[in-house]
Structure 1
Amino acid sequence: MITIKDIAARLNVSPSTVGRALADDSRISAATKQRVSEVAIEMGYVANLAARMMRGVSSNLVGLVLPDIRNGFYSTVAHALSKCLEGGGFQLTLSETDDDRLTELHHIRELTSANVAGIIIVPTARPHPDSVKLLKALPHIQLLRRHAALGEQWFGIDDTQAIYEATNHLVQLGHHRIGYVGGTDDLPTGSARLKGFHKALPRDEAAGPAFVHLGAPGSVDFGREATRRLLSLATPPTAIVAASVQTTQGVLEELTAQGVHAPDDLSVVGFGDEMGFRWWGPGLTTVGLPVSDLATACGLWFVHHIKQHSFTSAPYTSISPATLIVRGSTKQLGAVLAETANSRLHDTAS
């Protein structure tokens, strides 16, 4: 294994000069740094991370702590951040919490012990007090979700407005019985999206408990079960709003399994614009999310402040708007009722 001493011998300089050059020490000239870097690459030198940690030097690793990489929403975030951080000389390392705060604590402890340069986190609903203490001791930023205990630096989406637009679209099409399938309101995103749903409903109307189903936002099975319950009501909804990527997937799977056709039988608005959503049925009307742009902006901000050593507790918020993408899965309610009546008249005449 090539060491700093080997590089020093090749260049006929002291090991300390090589070490300082590799650490980008300001006492070393740019020309010497360049020569050391070239020889290090030529000889196949790999920095000893353990030794750096013992000296208390931060690594070039940035931790990304998120709920579930199987969710296309989060995999897009991870990809965009990885590319962004790579351009800044950092490497992304990924940790999944499955929305469990003890798992979250375990990962934060491990990342801290590895002297990461910082952490980007999509926090659980109630982070452990020890997680809060650890995060306060190193650069970190909240992404998509925000928890007050973790500070006021956050990059997110306007979740309330996103679901307001989705629900209002259905209201404008004449729908009054609108089912809602979303995440629990103990998560800030779940609470904000539910607020948007209720805000869009006319003042003289309200969605009863049977029409609102809250559960794990990352569960396809929950989406299927909630849809099953909505369809089994004596007076079922004429439209459904799904408020997370995974629950949208569950809603679509259940509608397909039961042979319910959108928009003739039911109008549907989803959340996120996964590739398969564009091809489902007549094309899914859905909330398009600026996930990649949001993650890139977060990464650039993070790299800038790490390199400038300018992380503070001063509040910083960046909110990106979502966009309603109208496709074929939603329809004017009157048109649906007229077609249904015509179909029944035709069946009677036959």
Structure 2
Amino acid sequence: MQRPVRLSVDCMGGDHGPSITLPACRTFLDKHPDAELLLVGKPDALTAAASWSRCRIVAASEVVEMDDPIDIALRKKRDSSMRVAIQQVKAGDTPPAADACVSAGNTGALMAVARYLLKTLDGIDRPAIASVMPNTRDGFTTMLDLGANVDCTAEHLLQFAVMGSALVSAVDGKETPTVGLLNIGEEAIKGSEVIKRAGELLRAAGESGLINFRGNVEGNDIFKGTTDLVVCDGFVGNVALKTAEGLATMLSTFIKQEFTRTPYAKLAALVALPVLKHFKDRVDHRRYNGAALLGLRGLVFKSHGSADALAFETALTRAYDAARNGLLERVHERINFALQASLNTNPANANRAAEAPAPRQAA
């Protein structure tokens, strides 16, 4: 992108609100001189940022609380910081005010409001949540879906693979990222009927050049880095994500306990301090914060609700990288390619596409 990358930030969202989001925004701006921020929230809570350069405060009078039902966020709080922040990336008669939106607010509310305001891309039935996990290759494995869709069809999993490939390509610079389907074994005959059908669709997509499919992968492959992208439904993905975060925390706690158990252990800890610090950084989930809501007509990134300043800054950086590298355009291109391939191979799909009603616009 030639012009500055502009992010809209829901400064009121999450467990901590401006006490965390504002320091994170300040650090982010210091590290990214070509970035601009729209700070959305109650003006009296954002006065500390009033004089910041490359920033503008966008007023919102309401806040979506972490325990608010989706209906409240969607229909009652029409001037919430979450909703106003998402509106900044909505394209209309004029270009959107921001290139991407970041919020640490209620996940269900964020997905519902974003889907209502932005709508899904043509060819996408459901948006998905994608994020990264560390692997032993000193890199990241991208996973989706991580909780947006509990029940998925094989076609949904194919859509996730296409969108996730675009994400990895845009953010990590890998033009043909490898894709694996999460299963209970590598053999094609294993798994539920949905997974076996999804495997067939993904193999066909791989043969057509739509994705770089490498077959089934198992849970341990996520951390081996066997493939760049792992596809699964939201139930399995969310369990895997929370299990990984819990395991990392437990291992860090165990190491700390062992190195403080005796005076000799404490002495050994001093010698091993550089190694321990590097280990802690590699498993620190804060450094992998920032999940993309893929499949929408705008870029929206979700931060952990409990994120501290470092974690929220990481989410801002991921949104910045996605916008700067044209993630939305890349998803558009891959989805259009997939649709065209589907129409060419199955004329019935073309008839259904022509007969499909136009999408309903937001009120």
Q: Which structure's relative contact order is higher, taking Cα pairs within 8 Å and 6+ residues apart?
A: 2
TM-score, normalised to structure 1, is 0.29
- Which one has a bigger Cα radius of gyration? 1
Question: Structure 2-normalised TM-score?
Answer: 0.28
